[in-house]
Homo-oligomer: A and B are copies of this chain.
């Protein structure tokens, strides 16, 4: 039984199924394709890639232009990915700075609270619009439910947050 890989490393392996890529590529793709429900930083990408290479789960090619080094999935890496994919999803994390402040709302000046809420509302509304546009574009391109399921989570999440802001927070 080999050591299991962590979720972030697994995500990189998953992206590498589409073919070799540089750390830079992987960071870009992770941010845009997974960023809404799984944060990854650049530092992390390179650290994980180093560790994965040491374990033989990826191979590192020659340095090309601008010191670019493509990494590629090995068979062992593909196996490690499959193992992770079937493993139990644990470790859901939700950390909401606005909520933490609201928990101490008794000491928060009214006006300041109103500003914060307004800013949060604007940010979430903008994200909702963005998601809706992505959904429309995807549907026009003929995407199936399988491709849209993570997006739909985002849609529901943003709508729930907006409803909460408008109906529950507003009343304070």
Contact = CB atoms under 8 A, between A and B. Distances in A.
Contact of A99 (B38, B86, B98): B38
B95 A89 contact: no
Interface residues of A, number: 59
A125 interface: no
A107 B85 contact: yes
A99 B169 contact: no
Contact of A89 (B38, B92, B116): B116
A43 interface: no
Interface stretch (A20-28, A47-55, A59-67, A142-150): A142-150
Given A37-B100, A97-B92, A103-B150, A164 B172 contact: no
Interface of A: 7, 10-11, 14, 17, 33-34, 36-39, 81-82, 85-86, 88-109, 112, 116, 119-120, 145-146, 148-150, 152-153, 156-157, 159-161, 163-164, 168-169, 171-172
